[in-house]
């Protein structure tokens, strides 16, 4: 005789649900995910490096997004994958020679992931730039990540109504 174990929800020993199985047989894990976005907010940016501000929290399964400080401080320790896209526009048709997008851990410019676009003359106009993707270890209490942007001329961030900016992080391995 074959025995069948039927479960629709798996819990840990304290009774907290860890994952469930829906009616189609798909496993739905509990996961730590965050995504913020901004669209048509027209944030002026000077040529120095500064933190990117975000308009809307789309998803934040553990409430780790800190809106006043525009950074993600997850309460679960582990390795987090991050990435996204940043919409930029020139000010008064002044092209840029470079754009620099960085994800900093704890605000430290030496502990960063970065993407820089350079040309040998002022040619960079309106663009959607990739936010660098990578994996960073966060301690689950005080560590945070945030996006910074720099350019050689003034720019406008999140300028478009049709193409938005977004930044995401996802726990890929708890520690």
Strands (DSSP E) along 2-140, which ranges? 9-11, 17-21, 27-29, 33-38, 43-45, 50-51, 56-60, 65-66, 71-72, 78-90, 98-105, 108-118, 127-138
Give the closest residue to 144 by CA, choosing from 116, 96, 95, 104. 104
Q: For domain 32-174, which architecture applies?
A: Sandwich (2.60)
Q: CB neighbours (10 Å) of residue 116?
A: 13
SS3 of residue 161 by DSSP: coil
Give the closest residue to 157 by CA, choosing from 81, 79, 99. 99
What is the Cα gyration radius of the chain? 20
Would you state the pLDDT for residue 116?
82
Which two tokens mark 40? 């048509």
What string of pLDDT tens digits covers the 175 residues of the chain? 677 666 666 667 777 766 777 888 777 777 899 999 999 888 887 767 889 999 999 999 999 999 999 999 999 999 999 999 999 887 766 777 788 899 999 999 888 899 887 776 666 667 888 999 999 999 999 999 999 999 888 888 988 778 899 999 999 999 9
Distance between CA 59 and CA 13 in Å, rounded? 28
How many residues are there in the chain?
175
Would you state the pLDDT for residue 98?
81
Distance between CA 108 and CA 99 in Å, rounded? 19
Question: Alpha carbon 138 to chain centroid distance?
Answer: 14
């Amino acid at each position: 005789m074959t025995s069948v174990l039927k479960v629709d929800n798996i819990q840990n020993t304290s009774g907290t649900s860890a994952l469930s199985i829906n009616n189609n047989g798909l496993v739905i894990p509990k996961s730590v995910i965050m995504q913020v976005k901004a669209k048509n907010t027209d944030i002026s940016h000077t040529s120095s490096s500064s933190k990117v501000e975000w308009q809307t929290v789309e998803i934040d399964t553990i409430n780790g997004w800190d809106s006043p400080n525009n950074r993600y401080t997850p309460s679960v320790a582990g390795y987090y994958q991050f990435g996204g896209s940043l919409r930029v526009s020139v000010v008064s048709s002044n092209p840029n020679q470079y754009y620099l997008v960085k994800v900093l851990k704890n605000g430290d410019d030496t502990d960063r992931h970065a993407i820089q676009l350079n040309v040998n003359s002022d040619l960079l106009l309106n663009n959607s730039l990739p936010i660098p993707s990578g994996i960073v270890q966060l301690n689950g209490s005080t560590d945070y990540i945030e996006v910074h942007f720099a350019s050689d001329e003034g720019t406008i961030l999140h300028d478009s109504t049709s193409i938005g900016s977004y930044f995401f992080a996802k726990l890929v391995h708890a520690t």
